[in-house]
Amino acid sequence: MAGRSLETLSFDNTYARLPETFSVKQNPTPVASAPYLIHVNRTAAELIDLDPEESVRPEFAGVFGGRMLVPGMEPIAMLYSGHQFGVYVPQLGDGRAILLGEAVNHRGERWDLHLKGGGMTPFSRDGDGRAVLRSTIREYLCCAAMRGLGIPTTQALCLVGNDDKVYREQVETGAMLVRMAPSHVRFGTFEIFYYRKQHEHLTVLADYVIGHHYPHLVGVTDAYARFFNEVVERTAALIAQWQAVGWAHGVMNTDNMSILGLTLDYGPFGFMDEYDSGFICNHSDHNGRYAFNQQPYIGLWNLSCLAQALLPLAGKDALKAGLDRYQELYQQQYLRLMRAKLGLREARPEDDGLVREWLGLLEESHADYTIAFRDLSSFSSVEGTANDRVRDHAVNREHFDEWAARYRERLRAENSRDDERCEQMNRVNPKYVLRNYLAQIAIEKAQQKDFSEIDRLFTLLQDPFKDYPGMDSYAAAPPNWGKHLSVSCSS
């Protein structure tokens, strides 16, 4: 099918037709300087039937840089609330993002086009509604990284720069990003109507989400409880995937939790370099509430907040039964992923211990999480093999040798073939991740109007499991200056 032009995109703005309480009509506020295209995601463009070649037109940067609209767009700012660092905030909402419209492709799939950095909205509180180049680059690249890893995520259509100055901790260059997702409804969207005691709006919202995103539940008995059960399943699976790749979200507030189980709102995220189970990627998280090893628990805590909000619609016992499934669902998914990372085909009772001991080895050695797992694919199950490449990741060689003996025995128990296992492990253990220092290099170059590093990283991250000739330096551990970079909520 031939791609559409900007002017012929198909829109059906269902969320904008919900009662006025759900959102506020809000056009983007144009920036003073001329917007310019930094990068376009051709794959994302094709999801909405948009011809990627449209990006060469100046109108492209105009539309997605907040200066103009195309027919069918009905911009709104969405209302929601949420628990932030465990404290309920009665009203949040889109403070620096505007839902331009819902693009519909030829398969009938809907994609929200959410402009981040489009100016103030009634929900901006004391903010300016703008985004900076630094944060938009990080989100743009991490969306690509997560998609390449097979982790459910919002996607980014394009990155548009401007020469306006925006103040965060310091004066920075402005930019805008178009985020795409089938829906931007959050746990906090349900919470606000529960705490306002607007149960009629809660019903409208639940029926809307089920009708558009869980249509198999329409008309089903106990549809609301079953809907909650499916959100539990998606959330447990999502967080298990985060843990398996060594990724921390950094700010898992309930307003940052997608009702579809997508990774949403990239702020102070981080892929771990040296393995640290208590890794805190957000320097604003002084108490470590959102530390890496707390994410599975926080997922459950956030789901309990959603369950509370659904009490007017579903029975308490049914909702509690859904919550009670979370831990087992998470653990099953996490162990399945970790078995694959270790090259194990079968599920056995000792696997949890084998995984924990390997992670303990990495932690006591300050080993690089991504590199150590990638190198583990070279492990030989032949008795007497030193496996120096893997062994070198351990500071306690005796400890490693004890683990290696158990690992070798486990591999032999399922008749593992080293060559086949190596190939399988390299399909699930990435060679490339978006390390903070790599993103920082791209940011610093982009601030000088050199966008080549964004393009290079975007290419690598789309398929992070393959070998790219001449790109091994991007798979290396960070240099000293690039370790433990500080990332804040304004990121």
| CA-wise closest residue to 162 among 29, 5, 7 | 29
- CA dist 388 and 402 (Å) reads 14
Alpha helices in 170-314 (DSSP H): 187-195, 199-213, 223-245, 295-309
- Return the residue matching tokens 């949403």: 264
Token pair listed for 19: 């009662």
DSSP 153: B
Among residues 433, 451, 431, 479, which one has the least CA distance to residue 136? 451
Rounded CA separation 333/294 (Å)? 17
How many Cβ atoms sit within 10 Å of the Cβ of residue 19? 11
d(CA 68, CA 379): 56
Distance CA 371, CA 431 (A): 7
CA dist., res. 422 & res. 464, Å (int) = 16
Q: How far apart are the first and last CA of the chain?
A: 38
299 touches 235 (CB < 8 A) = yes
Q: How far apart are CA 135 and CA 490, in angstroms?
A: 7
Within 8 A by CB and 6+ apart from 430, the residues are: 148, 149, 245, 370, 374, 464, 465
Residues contacting residue 8 through CB under 8 Å, at least 6 positions apart: none
Using alpha carbons, select from 310, 324, 300 the residue that is nearest to residue 222. Answer: 310
Tell the residue number behind the tokens 């591999």, with chain if given: 411
CA-only gyration radius of the chain, Å: 23
Closest to 279 in 3D by CA, of 358, 154, 369, 153: 369
Q: Amino acid identity of 26?
A: Q
255 given a catalytic annotation? yes
Say which of 94, 112, 255, 285 is annotated catalytic. Answer: 255
What are phi and psi for residue 456, nearest 5 degrees?
Answer: -65, -45
Note whether 271 and 370 are within 8 A (CB): yes
* DSSP character at residue 435: -
Please give the positions annotated as active site: 255
